[in-house]
Amino acid sequence: MARPSFVGRDGKPRLIECVVLYFDLLGVGEMARGETADSELEKFDELLRQVLPYPIGAKAAAEATRLGASSAAVFSDSVVQTIPVADDLPAAAPIFQLVVQVAQSQTQLILSEYFARGAITLDRFHAHDGLLFGPALVEAAKLEQEVADVPRIVLSSRVCATLLEFAQAGGENAFYAEAPVLVDEDGVAFVDYLGGAFQSDPEIVVPELLRRHRKVVSAKLKESITIFHHWSKYRWAAEYHNAICLKNRDLLDGGEGHGSFLIDSIYTSRQFKPLMSAAARPDR
Amino acid sequence: MPIDTSTLGTQSPRTEDGRVYPPYLRAFERFDSEFLAKVQELDEPTLNVLSLKAPTSQLRSAVSPWIASAEWRGLIERVDANELVGKRRYRLTERGKAKLAEPS
């Protein structure tokens, strides 16, 4: 089976079907401007290379593309990761892998105070020799800017439909719809990063991770209290945090009780539903 | 939280804090023989190295969830527990070596 390639036999660039993850890291633009830009760069560089499981840059991308594997590109505060869809596999397979992987990366970024906002799309794309181009990225950027709104990585309607298709069909691939994805009150499906991290990483200590998450989100709420459009983003993160604490209360009651894990300045009313039990409307 | 070792080898491994092996990861157990052999062959590979060396698109699309599944079942372990996901290297546990040695 031929590997999908961004360059045809005639040497011309090609668009191929890909799963594309695009996200912005909130606040990085401000960090890059101030007197601390040098130290921020050092921290940013080290963290991204530890958190992204795939290599960054054109050379790494070329090697990954040759082998049909995944690669990532970083431009200022924006990260793009691509997985070509192989001809012999359902598109749900790379989507599932990307969702599982990004849940862990997003969790680790947030614990280092980098909140990600972005989208996962499925469409044609070209990523070769430093050039990123195509409808999959255009849609992801549009979803990031117009739909995500708060620090969440949303799924395009086609990505949701691809995962759900297998649940409806049943059979051995029905599990794709169990990817760690929640549907928010506005009908937007997004990566359940904490839930995904709990499921895919048995080494995590849940109470410790939630305490660290609470600390970071609480600090951001406090920092942004005078700028409403910043504060409202972290308010969402706090509501998500509280919902996850309540969902996992059995894992927390043994210690101090789940109440001490909640961010108590936030009234918790937001409802998040599993993808399978909600009708997602990511494109509004 | 480490795996409760008394649950290893069962259908539902658990962590010591009570989390249960996610059922959807069972779908990736069918790749055990290929990936366990790769982990042994590649000398403590990262997720990316496993992905690059996976011989088929099916295996490349299964690397992250297979690693999660294998860790839950105690077949592989991290070389350095403090590394984040991008730098994390994996090796076979004794259980993983025994599984690899089983006749297919």
Closest to A216 measured CA to CA, from A199, A193, A198, A182: A193
* A224 close to B (CB below 8 A): no
The whole-angstrom separation of Cα A160 and Cα A276 is 10
Residue with tokens 């249960």: B20
Closest to A97 measured CA to CA, from B91, B56, B64: B64
Nearest CB among A50, A63, A254 relative to B86 is that of A50
Tell me how crowded residue A40 is: count the other CB atoms within 10 A of its CB: 17
Record the pTM.
0.91
The whole-angstrom separation of Cα A90 and Cα A162 is 9
Which pLDDT tens digit goes with each residue over B10-48? 989 999 988 999 998 999 999 999 999 999 999 999 998
Q: Which of A44, A200, A205, A248 to mutate to test the interface with B (most CBs of B within 10 A)?
A: A200
Work out whether strand A153-155 and strand A115-128 pair parallel, antiparallel, or are unpaired: parallel
The whole-angstrom separation of Cα B91 and Cα B60 is 18
Q: What is the ipTM of this complex?
A: 0.90
The residue in chain A having the minimum alpha-carbon distance to the alpha carbon of residue B49 is A54
- Phi-psi domain of A125 (left: phi exceeds 0; alpha: psi -120 through 50; beta: other): beta
The whole-angstrom separation of Cα A111 and Cα A216 is 7
Contacts of B93 in chain A (CB under 8 A): none
The whole-angstrom separation of Cα B54 and Cα B51 is 5
What pLDDT score does B74 carry?
A: 96
How do the pLDDT tens digits run along chain A, 284 residues long?
556 788 888 889 999 999 999 999 988 877 777 788 888 888 888 888 888 887 776 666 666 666 665 667 788 788 999 888 988 888 999 999 999 999 999 999 999 999 999 999 999 999 887 788 999 999 999 999 999 999 999 999 999 999 998 877 778 788 888 899 999 999 999 999 999 999 999 999 999 999 999 999 999 999 999 998 889 999 999 999 999 999 998 888 665 678 889 998 777 778 899 988 764 444 44
Residue with tokens 């998500």: A240
* B90 close to A (CB below 8 A): no
Task: Name the DSSP class of B61.
Answer: T
A42 near A87, Cβ under 8 Å? no
